[in-house]
Structure 1
Amino acid sequence: MKKQLLTFCFFIPGLAIAEPWIDTRNAWLRADIEYLSDLGVITAPVTSWPLTWAPIIQDLENADTSLLSKQDLLIFKRVKRQGKYQTKLKTHSYLSLKAGNQERILRHFGDDRREEAEITSKTTGMSKHFAWNIEATRAVDPIDGEEYRLDNSYLAAIWGNWIYSAGVIERWWGPGWDSSLILSNNARPVPGLSIQRNYSDPFESKWFSWIGPWSLTAFAGQLESDRFVPRAKLLGMSINFKPFDSLEIGLRRTAQWGGKDRPESLSSFWDLLIGRDNCDELEGGCTADRSNEPGNQLAGIDLNWRLPTPSYQGSVYLQLIGEDEAGYLPSRKVHQFGYKRNFQFYGMSVTSYLEYADTENDERTNLTYNNSIYQTGYRTEGRSIGSTYDNDTQSIALGFVASHRNGDKFKVRLANVDLNNDGVAGNHSINQKAVSFNQLEVQYQKPTRYGLLGIQLEAKDERIDSFGYQDDKYNVSLSWMMEL
């Protein structure tokens, strides 16, 4: 045991990544942070990713550790140690290899492989006012044909309490683990500009202090040219706040705007911004070709609520997203519900979740993520920007994310999915017909002196991909990452 602990302590500094935020590729770190949030140690909002380190470290520095159990203290120290290492003013370089027998079609929080095989080199670092990550990936036989990628690369500047960045940043908005209905890691990240609040301190004004700790993120991205409306823009804004220690609320909004032969004037943007983008709301209505309609929007709310029981009994969460707007409120909605609980098991800290989602619109089928103007839909490079399952799908997933005190990490996920249940071809990015399947995933990672080694196994009882990217019901992959 002592030898394992020494190996673990040796390895953690070697994987330290000097960045101002935590990205979407570490499910175990997210589980630890949410564990401490449920204990009340972390008071900052934690459901918009990437998540900034500054408020997390601030909460850990101010925490009263005398109230923590021995097992809770291990998690506290683990997160604090990572925060200290990852925000050091240093530069690090890494090399990683990932390979499997076929591509990853269904992605969930923490997944970092997309194609059959990938080799990635990255250099990341921070100075007092700047942070950067230069990440270059060579993908083998990728689905979208782009073999060379700069996904997850960025240059960021910290000014006051704001982080300004330009890059290709992967995002995940919402409390869900299996998927997010509005913005997930399913599609490749969109290049663009963003602004994000660094610390989440409450307002000092007595009129707004009730909001509690709050965070804000906004971005403007450029979609690809090979789509029905070439070079359309993807815009997004998210506000999270905690009026109570036990409740986090997220207000989300994204939009497709502009592009070839579409209006990009300030008045068009203003109409989009205030939600005046339906024909009956525009002055004079829409033109015959609807060329003056501003864009296509999604908006909604999500909640994460720790149950108010005398002893900790877990949290419930939900996400409600509207495909359209009526009376300045989201309409034509899809939804997601979940229950999450943390516990200890044979030296492991475990986060478990049970999550249900339904992307079949309450108005009609083939509506979610589709639009009569932006006919490529709410997708990029052939993948849904929202739910990993795209539209007209019901899914239920049971998952476990576990970290052992010796550094070993485990993930287990069981799911039942009714995919594209209306069975209409041409309106879905995964399958052109209805298919129901069960799925099992198991993942294991082990830190060694030679780097971080991992194996992931996935099995389905049906072949789900009708576009020919996946031939097998089984997907087996290996991964390795090491600091250079």
Structure 2
Amino acid sequence: MSRFVVSVLIVGCGLCSLPSSASPWIEAEDPFLRSDLQYLADRGFIRLPLNTFPVRWSLLADQFAKLDPATLNSAEQSAYRHVQYRLDSERLGRGRSHLTLSWANDADVGQNGFGGSEHTEYGIRASHEIMENQFAMRVSSGYRQAADSSDHWHFEDSYLAFGARDFTLSLGWLSRWWGPGWQQAFGFGQQAVSVPGLSLSYQHPSAGWLGSLWAETLLGKQDIDKQDNQVDADYLWASRVALRPKSWLQLGSSYKQWLGGADTLPGQSATSEQSSNGMWTLDMRLSAPLPLDGAGGLYGEYGHDRQSGVDYQLMGLDARWLLGRESLRLVAEAQESDPESTSNADLGVQALWQHKGNAIVDAVDGKRVSLGGYLQLHNDHTFSAFVHQNSPATAERYQTLVAQYRLPVFAGRVTGNLTGSEASAPTADRFSGGVVYEYRFN
């Protein structure tokens, strides 16, 4: 599939003209944009499912156009201006061409969770995006450090998409985040190497009693020669339904399964009751305004891996306020697996749901508690920091600190990443750091 995707993208380059409308998606790359959107949704101004990314800008734009900035308080106006700027930038075609340089002394350094950093020690990537009313594409190519020499050159982040009314057909590499969490997701917690695939999505901003509706099905391709996981399969099929029937209620469910290969873990027989490798999830978020013009929510997610038999639970709480001219979102999450639900708990989700060595499902066997937040300054500087207390099912407990600072500089944006771990952590470097520079051509 990868060669076919690249061929279609190259042919498409010769058929396209200048951009004329907004980028099709709010991608799973910017937790601060998501924080602004979530705040406006929690305050009841937009009815957008924010538990599934990427999500089409058009699902937001129609609702956003109905807002009257004069009726908003200072905290709401701050979030409104941030989102409006991004929407206007997409409509005007700003920054369609990107050049990104990255370096780190550890491939896993940097912000994890939603919008996490690419897992590589060094790399360079260039991309160009073209937009039309019912057509969009991006050609992206780069070179990076990789365990396999055939993965040095890559076309990840490239895509080709066609839209007709409420439907979108896309082909290529798009990072996805399916779930209400900020640091963990059981549906799709993809942060690094994207799964190339063909997807069909349906979105409707006003679907009666269902509210705002988003549905997607994806057929992805993996290279089984790379031994990405312990399931010998060629394809990944994944589907997702998300809706927001009330301004204070957000729901979602997903299911995924490897296809085209053996369906058993090492040591299992074909007649095992746990021979199916599917995993399904169910998630919910309850939102409410808070005192002092704040807003936040309580959310949870449940996942069941049919092959390993492990159940996963996630509970989280988040809240955002405007402090002077700076916005702060605090997040607390606790994720835990049930090792008694299966005799194969040590072969749980991390062993199964991987693509080129990176997790598709962001969950751990054991328990992980995450505390931290996102600080957005009025001068476009951003800072995020999280402390993770990890209690693996088969290893000693340890803590990890992950911090990220971003600032506009040199006609682009520089991101500094820092990770620190206790001596008991299963990593070679207790302290690691990295820098990413992104230049956007006007």
TM-score by length of 1: 0.78
Aligned residue number for residue 224 of structure 2: 225
User: Hey, what's the Cα distance between the residues in 1 that align with 2:337 and 2:387?
Assistant: 19
1:300 matches 2:277: no
Q: Partners in 2 of 1:19 and 1:89 — Cα distance?
A: 8
How far apart in 2 are the matches of 1:134 and 1:386?
A: 26
1:367 corresponds to 2:367: no
Return the offset for 1:365. Answer: 5.6
Aligned-residue offset at 1:417: 0.8
1:334 to 309, 312, 317: 312
> 3-state SS of the aligned residue for 2:306?
strand
**2:12 is equivalent to residue 34 of structure 1:** no
Of residues 312, 315, 319, the one that matches 2:301 is 319
Shift of 1:402: 1.7
Structure 1 counterpart of 2:257: 255
1:45–1:362 distance in 2 versus 1, CA, 3 Å:
farther
Higher gyration radius (CA): 1
Contact 2:116 / 2:191 at 8 angstroms: preserved in 1? no
Q: Distance in 2 between matches of 1:78 and 1:182?
A: 28
Once structures 1 and 2 are overlaid, which stretch shifts more, 182-191 or 166-175?
182-191
Letter in 2 for 1:104: D
Distance 1:190 1:33, change over 3 A: same
Task: Specify whether residues 62 and 368 from structure 1 end up closer, same or farther in structure 2 by C-alpha distance, changes over 3 A only.
Answer: farther
**1:371-450 map, 5 Å:** 377-387=352-362, 389-390=363-364, 392-419=365-392, 421=393, 423=394, 434-450=395-411
Deviation at 1:337, TM superposition (A): 0.3
Report the AA paired with residue 216 of structure 1: A
Give the TM-score normalised by structure 2: 0.85
Superimposed CA distance per residue, residues 100-137 of structure 1 (whole angstroms, 9 cap, x where no aligned partner)? 11111783211122111111111112112211111112
Task: Give structure 1 regions of 4+ aligned residues with deviation exceeding 6 angstroms.
Answer: 291-294, 308-311
1:450 is matched by which residue type in structure 2? A
CA, structure 1 residues 292+321, in 2 after alignment: closer, same or farther (shift >3 Å)?
A: closer
Structure 2 vs 1, CA of residues 320 and 65 (structure 1 numbering), >3 Å: closer, same or farther?
same
CA-to-partner distance for each residue in 1:183-213, whole Å, 9 max, x for gaps? 1124521111001224x3223xxxxx22111
The aligned length equals: 411
Paired letter, 1:127: E
Is the contact made by 1:24 and 1:171 (CA closer than 8 Å) also made in structure 2? Answer: yes
Q: Which amino acid aligns with 1:409?
A: T
Q: In the alignment, which residue of structure 2 is the partner of 1:61?
A: 65
Residue number among 169, 175, 180 corresponding to 2:180 in the alignment: 175
What residue number does 1:215 align with? 214
Once the two structures are TM-superposed, the CA of residue 368 in structure 1 deviates from its matched residue by 7.8
The structure where strand makes up a greater share of residues is 2
Aligned: 1:452 with 2:413 = yes
1:471 to 2:431 alignment: no
> What's the secondary structure of 2:252's corresponding residue?
strand
* CA distance in 2: counterparts of 1:369 and 1:59, whole angstroms: 45
Query: Closer, same or farther in 2 for the Cα pair 1:50/1:369, shift >3 Å?
Result: farther
2:106 partner SS: coil
| Aligned-residue offset at 1:346 | 3.8
How far apart are the structure 2 equivalents of 1:156 and 1:368?
Answer: 40
Distance 1:119 1:463 in 2: 33
- Residues 370 and 256 of structure 1, relative CA distance in 2, 3 Å threshold: farther
**CA RMSD for the aligned pairs?**
2.9
Q: Does 1:94 align with 2:101?
A: no
Q: Which amino acid aligns with 1:385?
A: I
Q: Any conservation in 1 of the 2:231–2:258 contact (CA below 8 Å)?
A: no
| Structure 2 spans left out of the alignment, 5+ residues | 1-20
Cα separation, partners in 2 of 1:18 and 1:118, compared to 1, 3 Å: farther
Partner of 1:152: 157
Paired position in structure 2 for 1:238:
240
- In structure 2, the partner of 1:20 is 24
Distance 1:292 1:462, change over 3 A: closer
How far did 1:445 drift?
Answer: 0.9
CA contact (8 A) 1:234 1:256 kept: yes
Deviation for aligned residue 1:64: 3.2
State the secondary structure of the residue aligned to 1:296: coil
State the shift of 1:482 in Å. Answer: 0.8
Once the two structures are superposed, residues 339-376 of structure 1 have per-residue CA deviations (whole angstroms, 9 ceiling, x without a partner) of 010111242111111000013445036438749xxx96
Shift of 1:412: 1.3
How many angstroms apart in 2 are the aligned matches of 1:418 and 1:293? Answer: 26
Q: Secondary structure at the match of 2:84?
A: helix
Q: In structure 2, what residue type is equivalent to 1:299? A: W
Distance 1:346 1:462, change over 3 A: farther
Q: 1:308 to 1:192 in 2, by over 3 A?
A: same
Pick closer, same or farther for the CA change 1:64–1:381 going to 2, 3 Å: same
**Shift in alpha-carbon separation, 1:377–1:59, aligned structure 2, 3 A:** same
Moved more, 153-162 or 88-97: 88-97
Deviation of 1:182 after TM superposition, in Å, equals 2.7
Shift of 1:291: 11
SS of 1:62's partner is coil
1:292–1:320 distance in 2 versus 1, CA, 3 Å? closer
Aligned partners of 1:439, 1:155: CA distance in 2, in Å?
Answer: 38
Matched, 1:343 2:341: no
The question of whether the paired residues in 2 share the 8 Å contact of 1:360 and 1:368 is answered with: no
1: CA distance, partners of 2:312 / 2:155: 32
Following superposition, the deviation at residue 407 of structure 1 comes to 1.0
The 1:295/1:223 distance shift into structure 2, 3 A limit, reads: farther
**Measured at CA, do residues 462 and 196 of structure 1 come closer, stay the same or move farther in structure 2, by a change above 3 Å?**
farther
On the 8 A contact 2:385/2:402 being kept in 1, the answer is yes
Asked whether the 8 Å contact 1:90–1:126 carries over to 2, the reply is no
Matched residues in 1 for 2:347 and 2:324: separation?
A: 43
Equivalents in 2 of 1:257, 1:291: separation in Å?
Answer: 17
Matching of residues 98-109 of structure 1 within 5 Å: 98-104=102-108, 107-109=112-114
Q: Between the two proteins, what is the percent identity of the paired residues?
A: 21
Give the match for residue 8 of structure 2. Answer: none
